[in-house]
């Protein structure tokens, strides 16, 4: 799912320590910087909300 990033989202993400990227997902393998479920993860890695205007959420994300 693609979501537009605006100032409100940035503020709330900071306030509530919002996690959505692979780095916070139980399926993330940090040694390989890859998804253990073999999904392409280029859109979900190293996302800096202060620098992007949209984010692509992974439907398989599960906080780890
Ligand atoms: S399931 Fe999705 S969010 Fe989790 S590591 Fe794989 S690509 Fe990233």
Residues with CB under 6 Å of ligand 1 are 22, 25, 27-28, 35, 37, 39, 41, 44, 58, 60-61
> Nearest-CA neighbor of 3 among 46, 62, 56?
56
Q: Tell me: the pLDDT tens digits for 7-59?
A: 999 999 999 999 999 999 999 999 999 999 999 999 999 999 999 999 999 99
Phi, psi of 15 (to 5 degrees): -65, -40
| Ligand 1 atom closest to the CA of 20, numbered from 1 | 3
Instruction: Say what the pLDDT of residue 44 is.
Output: 96
Q: What is the pTM of this model?
A: 0.90
Which residues are within 8 A (CB) of 26 and not within 5 positions of it... i.e. 6 or more apart? Answer: 62, 63, 64
Q: What is the pLDDT of residue 32?
A: 97
């Amino acid at each position: 799912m693609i979501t537009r990033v605006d100032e409100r989202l940035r503020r709330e993400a900071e306030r509530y320590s919002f996690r959505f990227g692979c780095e916070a997902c139980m399926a993330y393998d940090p040694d390989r910087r890859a998804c253990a479920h073999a999904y392409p993860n280029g859109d979900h890695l190293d996302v800096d909300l202060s620098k992007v205007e949209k984010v692509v959420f992974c439907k398989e994300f599960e906080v780890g």
